[in-house]
Amino acid sequence: MKSRALAILALLFCSMPFATATAAPDGAQAVDEAWRKAIIANDLNAIMAVYAEDAVMWLPDAPEAKGQEAIRKSYADLLAANTVTGATLANTHYQTSGNLSVGWGDFTLTLSPKAEGNPVTLAGRFSVIARKEGGKWVYVVDHASAHPAPSTPR
């Protein structure tokens, strides 16, 4: 009996890392990953699929985009002028409780201008709030800002 219990515990212990490693992202993390794939694909409809109808978006050096129509226009303008060639999220943190989830971290976005010009990499920090609607997670708040300039010694 004792060896059977030990065998069961050993089996459970050995399967735990596998189950943890294969768990799909949920909440804001799932939305961030869907957004990253959509932006790299330069797919405006896929980008918009991760935003709630009443979402609000704040981007660096841009006015508030409130609601799907304003958010769509912001992304349409970005994609009309550029091809997104890279997007990364790093130093990310996520917390989910019920139907709300938050995430924050650092981002980089690499753009190749469709007109003449060298590629540009934007970098900064982000925070998001996602809500589960109809079984699907979507952004309700998307906020990005540039990293502050390095402080100069006095």
CA torsion sign, 88 to 93 to 98 to 99?
Answer: negative
pLDDT of residue 19: 39
DSSP character at residue 63: -
Question: How far is it, in rounded angstroms, from Cα 151 to Cα 94?
Answer: 29
The pairing of strands 136-146 and 51-58 is: parallel
CA-based radius of gyration for the chain: 20
Is the pLDDT at 76 greater than 80? The verdict is yes
pLDDT of residue 23: 65
Average pLDDT over residues 44-72: 96
Half-sphere exposure of residue 54: CA atoms within 13 angstroms, side-chain side:
2
Q: What is the pLDDT of residues 16-40, one digit of tens each?
A: 444 344 467 899 999 999 999 999 9
Weakest mean pLDDT among 1-10, 33-42, 58-67, 70-79: 1-10
Which residue blocks in 41-123 are alpha helix, DSSP H? 44-48, 68-81
Domains for the chain: give ranges and CATH numbers. 26-146 (3.10.450.50)
Is the pLDDT at 150 greater than 90? The verdict is no
In which band, very low, low, confident or very high, does the pLDDT at 154 lie, cut at 50, 70 and 90? confident
Q: What is the pLDDT of residues 88-140, one digit of tens each?
A: 999 999 999 999 999 999 999 999 999 988 999 999 999 999 999 999 999 99
